[in-house]
């Protein structure tokens, strides 16, 4: 089965200091569900930034969807980025447009039909409990509400890969459960999901998820799933 993400001997160094990430070797198989944990400062966001093509590694090979994205012509990177739904830790909503338009934006970029945009955005905003706030600007929302908008935006195009950095960091346990359920449902439909989280409740909800643990920039593999990746995750209870 093809790897959606493959890292070989990847290292990342900011400036002239020691490496923040070292010798990362792993494969995320198509349709897998991974949780990335580790103490604050271990390098989780840095690792996600390599996968989402926000940064290039200092060394090593990264393949996304089977292609080497380190040496690739930069002009081709947007096509890869469009296949990835990203939930940023700091949301990164566009402040000058409405909640609806923030979620609609990825669909507008790919030229989706207006009817499809209306239907998809409306459905997702209802799913995250924000249908009544569709016309609001992001600044009028609480942190947790903004996080839900960011999640709706990340999944609206049904991307091949979803990368979420602390997607439940600002919401209550009930909403965290809904968000997790949404990501699980997308995973069952074949989307590969990688979630970086400190949320022990979230980790407890996903006993079958493959765990990746970063420790000072190197990766532990407590479930062995990186060396022997499951072809497909077992269904969640």
Ligand X SMILES: Nc1ncnc2c1ncn2[C@@H]1O[C@H](COP(=O)(O)OP(=O)(O)OP(=O)(O)O)[C@@H](O)[C@H]1O
- For ligand X, the binding residues (CB under 6 A) are 14, 20, 38, 40-46
Contact partners, residue 136, CB within 8 Å, separation at least 6: 98, 99
Closest contact distance (angstroms) between CB of 14 and ligand X is 3
Q: For residues 41 and 78, which CB has a smaller minimum distance to ligand X in the complex?
A: 41
Shortest spacing between CB 97 and ligand X, in angstroms: 27
Nearest approach, Cβ of 35 to ligand X (angstroms)?
A: 13
Q: Which is nearer to ligand X, 40 or 71 (CB)?
A: 40
Which residues on adjacent β-strands are paired with residue 212? 36
Please say which residue, 160 or 166, places its beta carbon nearer to ligand X: 166
Determine contact, residues 226/212, Cβ cutoff 8 Å.
yes
Least distance (Å) between residue 79 CB and ligand X: 25
Answer for the pair 139, 95: CB distance below 8 angstroms, yes or no: yes
Q: Give the nearer residue to ligand X in terms of CB position, either 36 or 121.
A: 36
| Residue 44: CB minimum distance to ligand X, A | 4
29 closest CA partner among 179, 237, 227? 227
The alpha carbon of residue 222 and the mean position of all alpha carbons in its chain are separated, in whole angstroms, by 21
Rounded to whole angstroms, how far apart are CA atoms 183 and 191?
9
The beta-strand segments (E) located in 141-191 are: 161-165
When the beta carbons of 31 and 217 are compared against ligand X, the nearer one is: 217
Residues ≥6 apart with Cβ < 8 Å to 235: 188
């Amino acid at each position: 089965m093809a790897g959606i993400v493959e890292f070989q001997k990847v290292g990342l160094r900011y400036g002239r200091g020691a490496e923040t990430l070292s010798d990362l070797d792993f494969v995320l198989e198509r349709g897998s569900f991974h949780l990335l944990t580790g103490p604050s400062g271990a390098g989780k966001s840095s690792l996600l930034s390599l996968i989402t093509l926000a940064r290039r590694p200092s060394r090593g090979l990264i393949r996304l969807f089977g292609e080497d994205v380190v040496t690739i012509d930069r002009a081709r990177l947007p096509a890869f980025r469009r296949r990835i739904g990203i939930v940023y830790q700091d949301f990164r909503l566009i402040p000058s447009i409405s909640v609806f338009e923030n979620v609609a934006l990825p669909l507008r970029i790919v030229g989706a039909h207006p009817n499809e945009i209306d239907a998809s955005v409306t459905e997702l905003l209802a799913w995250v409990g924000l249908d009544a706030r569709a016309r609001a600007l992001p600044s009028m929302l609480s942190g947790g509400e903004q996080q839900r908008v960011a999640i709706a935006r990340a999944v609206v195009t049904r991307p091949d890969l979803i990368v979420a950095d602390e997607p439940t960091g600002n919401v209550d346990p009930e909403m965290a459960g809904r968000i997790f359920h949404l990501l699980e449902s997308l995973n069952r439909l074949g989307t590969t999901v990688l979630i970086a989280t400190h949320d022990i409740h979230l980790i407890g909800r996903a006993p079958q998820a493959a765990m990746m643990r970063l420790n000072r920039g190197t990766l532990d593999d407590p479930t062995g799933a990186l060396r022997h990746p499951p072809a497909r995750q077992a269904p969640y209870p």
